């Protein structure tokens, strides 16, 4: 059974994960408007992954006999100055999410809830991967700068990102 404090924190994280999905969906629209189909595809896959992350916590709370309290999801920004600026915002957002996950893992330890800490360790590893992936894209976009051919090549590369593995698989 989840402590009230941990249940509240997990419900807040569900909201944060849904916001992440909304943020990436907004970035999809931005990239589509710029005719950057590969960037839009990458953002769409990220939005789907964030949605799966929310569902993983949602299902975990229910498994532990907790109560789900869905909250209003804030509207994300709609515009960025450039594709690079959008990916930089994505990187900052992933760093913010890493902080949230770290706090949840700390709280689980504080509450002596090893099962929740175990789930949070999966998220800790996931956040390391997500930050590294976005950081790589940011660095490449910085290298190409405003070069049309460079952006074209990056856009084409980003279109190859596979869809996230559904929750039934090992990953979410």
Tens of pLDDT, residues 6-15: 999 999 999 9
At 172 the pLDDT is: 45
Residue 171 resides in a domain: no
* Sequence-distant contacts of 28-35: CB under 8 A, at least 24 apart: 29/78, 30/78, 30/79, 30/80, 30/86, 31/83, 31/86, 34/83
At 128 the pLDDT is: 97
Residue 67 has pLDDT above 80, yes or no: yes
**Mean pLDDT, rounded, for 91-107:** 98
At 68 the pLDDT is: 98
At 165 the pLDDT is: 81
At 169 the pLDDT is: 53
Residue 165 resides in a domain: no
Q: Band of the pLDDT at 129, cuts 50, 70, 90? A: very high
DSSP string, 130-143: HHHHHHHHHHHHHH
**Mean pLDDT, rounded, for 34-52:** 97
Say what the pTM is.
0.93
More confident of the two residues 168 and 117: 117
User: What is the CATH number for 87?
Assistant: 1.20.1260.10
Residue 65 resides in a domain: yes
Residue 167 resides in a domain: no
Range of the domain at 70: 4-158
Residue 93 has pLDDT above 80, yes or no: yes
CB 46 within 8 A of CB 24: yes
Longest dimension (CA), the chain: 55
Q: Which residues contact 128 (CB under 8 A, 6 or more apart)?
A: 98
> 145 — alpha (psi -120 to 50), left (phi > 0) or beta?
left
CA distances from 58 to 17, 61, 96, 145 (A): 10, 5, 20, 40
83 burial via Cβ count (<10 Å: 0-12, 13-18, 19+):
buried
At 170 the pLDDT is: 47
**Mean pLDDT, rounded, for 66-82:** 97
Query: How many whole angstroms separate alpha carbon 108 and alpha carbon 124?
Result: 13
Residue 166, token pair as written in the block = 């559904």
As for how many domains the chain has, the answer is 1
At 44 the pLDDT is: 98
């Amino acid at each position: 059974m989840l402590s009230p404090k941990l249940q509240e924190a997990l419900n807040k994280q569900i909201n944060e994960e849904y916001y992440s999905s909304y943020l990436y969906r907004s970035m999809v629209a931005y990239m589509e408007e710029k005719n950057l189909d590969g960037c839009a595809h990458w953002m769409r896959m990220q939005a789907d992954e964030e949605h799966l992350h929310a569902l993983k916590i949602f299902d975990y709370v229910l498994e532990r006999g907790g109560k789900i309290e869905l909250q209003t999801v804030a509207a994300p920004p709609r515009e960025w100055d450039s594709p690079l600026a959008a990916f930089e915002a994505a990187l900052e957002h992933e760093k913010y999410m890493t902080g949230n996950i770290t706090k949840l893992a700390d709280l689980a330890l504080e509450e002596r809830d090893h099962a929740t800490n175990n789930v949070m360790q999966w998220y800790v590893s996931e956040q390391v991967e997500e930050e590294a992936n976005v950081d790589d894209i940011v660095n490449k976009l910085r290298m190409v700068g405003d070069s049309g051919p460079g952006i074209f090549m990056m856009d084409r590369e980003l279109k190859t990102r596979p869809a996230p593995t559904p929750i039934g698989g090992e990953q979410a």
